[in-house]
Chain A
């Protein structure tokens, strides 16, 4: 079996994978990073969203073997130096989760929306950009509020001159 090496949440990792092994399987089963969830088999629900080289991807549709040399961030790697990411804070502050299963994917997507669309997000933009993430508990109301608030907080917490996200 081929070996694949990448950086996950700041750590260099290597694993032997089959050609058919998915990135989400590598994360959950080989690396024990079970915060990334699998909610479907058709790349619709977004529960498995992670950042691949800084871009949001659904890790159920990425072959692990294709990630040689990549940098991956999962929900476990979002908080830094023991401090929650502003988007994580916003989800907690605004009761944007109930069962919590879609939440890691939602938060990773939300951070990616900020990267793509900036920190000043209107309601319509957020709702449209959440097309690839399904939540069954919240009716999205508090998720939209949290993303708006988290995006603004990311601007404040960002060192001046740094790119958004």
Chain B
């Protein structure tokens, strides 16, 4: 089936009167098990006879492995095996199949300017020769218990030859920096440009004003509350591996394992049950997943591994970490003319992923009308944990840069912040809008949404609140930030739908819910389109035994792509059903209509239900072969257009200038979700997204010692997580402007909470401190940083040039 994206959105009528239709905040199907402790997360899985694995991890950020002595460990009580990188290579294990970019045609190409291929190097589950970040696994100890395995791991003797360490993003790009990979010319793996250099230079030459901003968006980590865990099994009789693990898509995990083990497609099964959060962190294969199934084959018993939180901090794929230098050119009236600059993204200790670099630079101009732009984009490696996309991959960083540039331009050149934004936001008449890098924004009522957010945040009433706060000795600030998000990712998805004889409907799909409530919102689609009672719909995911393809959950593609294939499968079910119903109603199939969950012959009053049709598919003797039961359909689609959710946030903060402490007093957000399926889930997604963005802006930071590459934020005692008392209630609203590039008009809602949060938070903080002359506060804007910024601006004691000074300033 092909979908013509130019046809109008299907009408949402068509049966399913009652609970669970599109647009209802119906309670989630998954919650009953989760609130009673009956969920099944990865560590809840236990297989008979299982042994336990513990990883021996490198204590150094950069070192050559001279030798590994396992003799003492093997002699310890309860130890079954100690396996090293050498054993792994001897058994033919292939590296983790990382892909530098997600393959989506809507994203802009980013290639090396000199025409050479992007540098990539093998990343093995156990480092065979060299470790490149603290925590990299060098051996796996398997024992009768976790305690025995831990004791054994202590006895593995690894002799390291220490190498010079480079942990700083900007410094890693230097040609003289210590190199991570001997076969590379430098740590710069990717050095490309986007945009039009000539047009940009010409625009800057005639600019009335130029504003400049340099910043470092710090490294953070996703911190799903469920630490990773995996249980692997191997059946030697049929040469078959089974992995139980929390993933963002079982099929993709299986496909990667098939490559690493060099086995057939049917030789690996991956099962994912409940998953305790994702946020991008679970978006790529982890080496331990391959190790437990390989270990199970080696020892002839299932092997279980459960990550501890300190290991998660050191070895989960981390996010952000971008150094930016940017300039914005304006004419005398405040029209944006051009922007230019340079971005350096830090991939960490392996060439895992450069997607955030590309996803950022291609929308460097954000949602605004900027005729020309030119950026250099570099991806580097360093002696830190590998990175990959984290919630709203690459965009929160660059959107923050744009929103800071606008506020700086307003302040330094005498414009009103809001007027500057109004002047440069494309109107609805300008849609679709092509940005200076070539990205085509599908549609949007940008002005309407910003005005709505300003109203929600009571921008107009702010001066009175500021005056009231000042009377109490507090500094109030207000900030605004717009965003546009690019929803692309793996473009293919597949749904398999079966209507059973008892009237229940099963949908098999290749995404996995990691908290987004797919069992509920996907079922609402089926209830809407097939008129089936909500309780009769079952969404089946996460087991490659029946999931034959799936792109996984990322890039706001869950509901966005699922809706397309569930719609496609529903339409096939209806068409097949009409032909069967025609036999029951004794008429031509063309005379049958599908209404309110039943097939009718208009004018004759006779109807047959979907259930009766599903039964007839099995039981009627004269059903044509292609309609013989079960009544089922498969929709497999590749959607090459991206969607562009957008929105605006307004935040008000209150700062105690004596302490630097900060309270968020109002947080307002408006998102355009295109078409809302479950409003409760949408608001929940926005709330959680905001909290992650605010966490980055105010407190979170994966801090590596620049000299040693040691992670100094390796536990919840050191890595500041947002807690309940960091927030007020959020004021969130959404609008529904159908996306013209999505057949059902949908725009994803999962990343919009995070995308503008960095910019709006820092804008509001700087506004609060404007009376002191503070120009900027780097992230995370901790009370100490705020306090120092006030003191420095007041001309008091100079702050110590300590580790809290942004590294961009240290170059």
**A interface residues, Cβ below 8 angstroms from B:** 18, 20, 28, 33-42, 44-45, 47, 74-76, 78-79, 84, 88, 91-93, 95, 97-104, 107, 123, 126-128, 130-131, 133-145
Contacts and interface: CB of A to CB of B under 8 A. Distances in A.
Q: Which of A47, A97, A139 is most buried by chain B, counting CB atoms within 10 A of its CB? A: A139
Interface stretch (B411-419, B437-445, B649-657, B684-692): B684-692
Given A74-B37, A144-B724, A136 B716 contact: no
Contacts of B727: 127, 139-141
Interface stretch (B175-183, B396-404, B514-522): B514-522
A100 B34 contact: yes
Contacts of B684: 95, 98, 137-138, 141-142
B36 A140 contact: no
Nearest to A140: B724
7 contacts: A35-B37, A91-B31, A95-B25, A95-B28, A95-B684, A99-B277, A136-B279
Q: Which of A137, A144, A145 is most buried by chain B, counting CB atoms within 10 A of its CB? A: A137
A136 B688 contact: yes
B144 interface: no
Q: Which of A28, A37, A88, A91 is most buried by chain B, counting CB atoms within 10 A of its CB? A: A37
A139 B32 contact: no
B226 A75 contact: no
Contact of A102 (B225, B514, B517, B692): B225
Contacts of B68: none
B224 A103 contact: no
Interface string B702-733: 00000000000001110001111101011000
B724 A101 contact: no
A139 B225 contact: no
Interface string B689-700: 111100000000
Contacts of A123: 729
A18 B730 CA distance: 47
A140 B41 CA distance: 22
Contacts of B36: 35, 75-76, 78-79, 84, 88
A33 B309 contact: no
B331 interface: no
A34 B730 CA distance: 33
B717 A100 contact: no
Interface in B1-33: 25, 27-28, 30-32
A85 to B, nearest CB: 9
B275 interface: yes
Contact of B724 (A44, A103, A143): A143
A92 B31 contact: yes
Nearest to A21: B147
Given A78-B36, A98-B277, 14 more contacts: A39-B226, A40-B227, A45-B309, A75-B35, A91-B35, A92-B31, A128-B725, A131-B725, A134-B716, A135-B225, A136-B225, A136-B277, A140-B691, A141-B687
B147 A18 contact: yes
Number of chain B interface residues as a range: 35 or more
Contacts of B753: 139
B680 interface: yes
B723 A134 contact: yes
Contacts of A107: 35
Contacts of A128: 724-725
A100 B730 contact: no
Contact of B37 (A76, A102, A141): A76
Contacts of B491: none
Nearest to B687: A139
Given A35-B37, A127-B724, A42 B687 contact: no
Given A138-B687, A140-B724, A92 B309 contact: no
A77 to B, nearest CB: 9
Given A98-B515, A141-B730, A136 B223 contact: yes
B305 to A, nearest CB: 14
Interface string B273-313: 01111110000000000000000000000000000111000
Contact of A100 (B31, B43, B308, B689): B31
B487 interface: no
B809 interface: no
Interface of B: 25, 27-28, 30-32, 34-41, 43-44, 147, 222-227, 274-279, 308-310, 514-517, 680-681, 683-685, 687-692, 715-717, 721-725, 727, 729-730, 753
A97 B28 CA distance: 10
A118 B277 CA distance: 32
A133 B687 CA distance: 17
A144 to B, nearest CB: 6
A142 B684 CA distance: 8
Contacts of A139: 687-691, 722, 727, 730, 753
Contacts of A75: 35-37
B275 A99 contact: yes
A45 to B, nearest CB: 6
Contacts of A104: 35, 37
Contact of B716 (A45, A84, A102): A45
A123 B36 CA distance: 25
Contacts of A47: 225
A141 to B, nearest CB: 4
A104 B33 CA distance: 11
Contacts of B724: 126-128, 130-131, 133, 135, 140, 143-144
Contacts of B41: 34, 37, 101
Contacts of A34: 37, 40-41, 43-44
A141 B729 contact: yes
A36 B226 CA distance: 12
Contacts of B27: 92-93, 95
Nearest to A92: B31
Contacts of A35: 36-39
A83 to B, nearest CB: 11
Q: Which of B34, B279, B687 is most buried by chain A, counting CB atoms within 10 A of its CB? A: B34
Contacts of A38: 43, 227
Given A99-B277, A100-B276, A92 B35 contact: yes
A137 B37 contact: no
Q: Which of A18, A28, A78, A97 is most buried by chain B, counting CB atoms within 10 A of its CB? A: A97
B309 A88 contact: no
A27 to B, nearest CB: 10
Contacts of A74: 37
A38 B201 CA distance: 56
A33 B688 CA distance: 28
B686 to A, nearest CB: 8
List of 6 A-B pairs having minimum Cβ-Cβ separation, nearest first: A35-B37, A101-B276, A100-B34, A99-B515, A139-B691, A44-B716
Contacts of B717: 42, 44
B37 to A, nearest CB: 2
A143 B475 CA distance: 30
Contacts of B38: 35, 76
A33 B274 CA distance: 16
A107 B34 CA distance: 11
Nearest to B514: A99
A128 B226 CA distance: 23
Q: Which of B44, B688, B690 is most buried by chain A, counting CB atoms within 10 A of its CB? A: B688
A84 to B, nearest CB: 7
